[in-house]
Chains A and B, each alone.
Chain A
Amino acid sequence: MSKKTKSSLDGQSRGYKIFVIIVLALLAVFFIFPLYWILTGSLKDAITINAQKPQWFPLNPTLDNYVRLFKQPAIQWLLNTIIIAVAAMALTCITAALAGYALAKKRFFGQTVLFSLLVCAMALPKQVIVIPLLQEMSALGLNNNLLAVILPTVGWPFGIFLMKQFSETIPTEMLEAARIDGASEVRTFVSIVFPMVKPGVGALAIFTFVNTWNDYFLQLIMLQKREVLTISTGIARLQGEVSSDFGLIMAGAALAAVPIVAVFLMFQKYFTQGITMGAVKG
């Protein structure tokens, strides 16, 4: 019976099902292709790249593009990106876990106002505040300093919001019991709250890492000197300088994309959890 119901529910006509599969497969090719073209392009020599006929697969692959890429400070760019992403991730997770718990589990003066302020700020265009931020950072003497990218990333309230959602699942009775047992606030947080919101912290960590890695606009505005560039801004700079050297640029794009795609694939489960839990309901 239940099987019958299910089949009548999912009972699209056979033709429609085949149509869906074909369309999705074609789209999958279309969505994977740019990455494929970056990777294969990075292995082609200049003659193959500029040939009138596309070579779908690099028949005589060469690492020459990578050799030339590493003559640029590409390793330094990669390192800068990793420093920015890891620092922003760690700071965001710590501060947001603390704040999210307070917002979810404590009743305090100014709570509603503060929460509305955070939600409103999130609805505003993030990039707009980057221009005044540049002036703020200059005033703080943080020009061409990686901190100029890290600090504003930590300030963005998405993490607080996400951790509030996760903290709401903590049973209040457990917190009450800890208080009756005389546990201090810090102890309660470390031994009860944090273990319970760990999946949330994981989701926030991977989400912040990937988004910070790819936050091109902020990096572009804050970092100009060649040695403090990130991998994204470095590749963009290269493209401005040698716009027709597609082999070199594809090698750079591969260096920017492969690590972050690998991280994403490894922690995909947490990542999707972060996206779904962070959605404002209603």
Chain B
Amino acid sequence: MAQISAKAPQANASQGHHTSRVLARRETISAYLFMLPSLLFFVGFVLVPMGMCLVYSFLDMGIDTSAATFAGFANYIEMFQDETFIRSLWNTVLIVVVSVPVVTAFSLWVGSAIYPMHSKMRSFFRCVFYLPVVTGSVAVTVVWKWMFNPYNGLLNQIFGTVGFDWLGDTRTAIWCIIMILFTTSIGQPIVLYVAALGNVDRSLEEAAAIDGATRLQIFWKIKWPQIMPTTLYVLVITTINSFQCFALIQLLTRGGPLGSTSTLMYYIFDMAYNYQRFGYANAMGVVLAIFIAIFSAIQFKVAQTDNG
């Protein structure tokens, strides 16, 4: 009797276990069926090229892929002896180091300035600052190219400096690029900050205000910690975008004058597209990805310690 009663629940349990396993398996199969179309595209056109990028970076490969030979780390070694690469790396780092903090701080300021406004005004400004992004990098770039033109460009006409070649001067070219990049970078962060500030706990703010906290105190002690995840996200996306700065360079300066505006992404394009050195270009792509990973990791670290 005791034996039977001891067995019965055991059998029950194992049967229950069995059905739950069947259910779990069915759930897994149906989940993968739902994801199948996405995964096909993701694996085929994101993961596979990523793998190819890594593999090709160890090959000496030109336009004829069947003639590729194994090169070991030769591409990686060549890179750090290649003056243009070093130059492009420094230019890229300069762009990132200048534009990321400026974009983040500026969009935070605009975000805090417009979020208390009437909703019509708020969407107006949000739209205006997003406009250069929507207009598209090519349209924005060609009009700036005209405005920078030494002879019929608007800037020289305004400043009375007709003949000055903004994009042809090693001192000014990269700053022109950074300025245009800035106008195409702040749209998204502003949208994010306006949304984040709208989610800040209003009661905490009011309590602090009643206790006599100043606006600046309220901002740093109450709002800043609450919008920290957004700040981190803004830092990371701005870093990724600044590292990938390409269209502006290709259309405005082609890396010149004297390599003063060449960026990593532009140099990768140049090597692959104009010189057909696919192995070398892919190796630089791997290095660019590593740099972005390092910069993002540093930002996470700093943001975490900053947050307490």
Interface residues of A (CB under 8 A from B): 5, 8-12, 20, 24, 27-28, 30-32, 34-35, 37-38, 41, 49-54, 91, 94-96, 98-99, 101-103, 106-111, 114, 118, 121, 123-136, 151-152, 154-157, 159-160, 185, 189, 210, 213-214, 216-217, 220-221, 232-233, 235-236, 239, 246, 249-250, 252-254, 256-257, 260-261, 264-265, 268, 272, 275-276, 279-282
**Ranked 5 nearest A-B pairs via Cβ:** A155-B45, A99-B38, A102-B34, A132-B52, A155-B41
Question: Helix, strand, loop or mixed for chain A's interface?
Answer: helix
Interface of B with A (CB < 8 Å)? 24, 27-28, 30-35, 37-39, 41-42, 44-50, 52-53, 56, 65, 110, 113-114, 116, 123, 125-140, 142-147, 149, 151-152, 154, 157-158, 162, 183, 188, 191-192, 195, 205-206, 209-210, 215, 218, 229-230, 233, 236, 240, 243-244, 246-247, 250-251, 265, 268-269, 272-273, 278, 281-282, 285-286, 288-289, 292-293, 296
| Among B45, B52, B157, B247, contact of A217 (Cβ-Cβ < 8 Å) | B247
Say whether B41 contacts A239, CB under 8 Å: no
The reply to whether A95 and B288 form a contact with Cβ atoms under 8 Å apart is no
How far apart are the CA atoms of A35 and B137 in the complex, in Å? 12
Measured CB to CB, the nearest residue on chain A to B65 is A135
Given contacts A34-B183, A41-B146, 4 further A-B contacts (CB under 8 A): A8-B209, A99-B34, A103-B31, A220-B250
In the complex, what residues of A have CB within 8 A of residue B229's CB? Answer: 281-282
Given that A135-B65, A155-B45, A253-B143 are known contacts, is A31 also in contact with B128, CB under 8 Å in the complex? yes
Of A99, A132, A185, A257, the contact of B53 (CB 8 Å cutoff)? A132
User: Contacts of A282 on B, CB cut-off 8 Å?
Assistant: 229
Asked if A257 and B139 sit within 8 Å, CB to CB, the answer is: yes
A232 to B183 alpha-carbon distance, docked (Å): 19
* A236 lies within 8 A of B183 (CB): no
Q: Which residue of A lies closest to B46 (CB)?
A: A155
CB distance from B205 to the nearest CB of A (A): 6
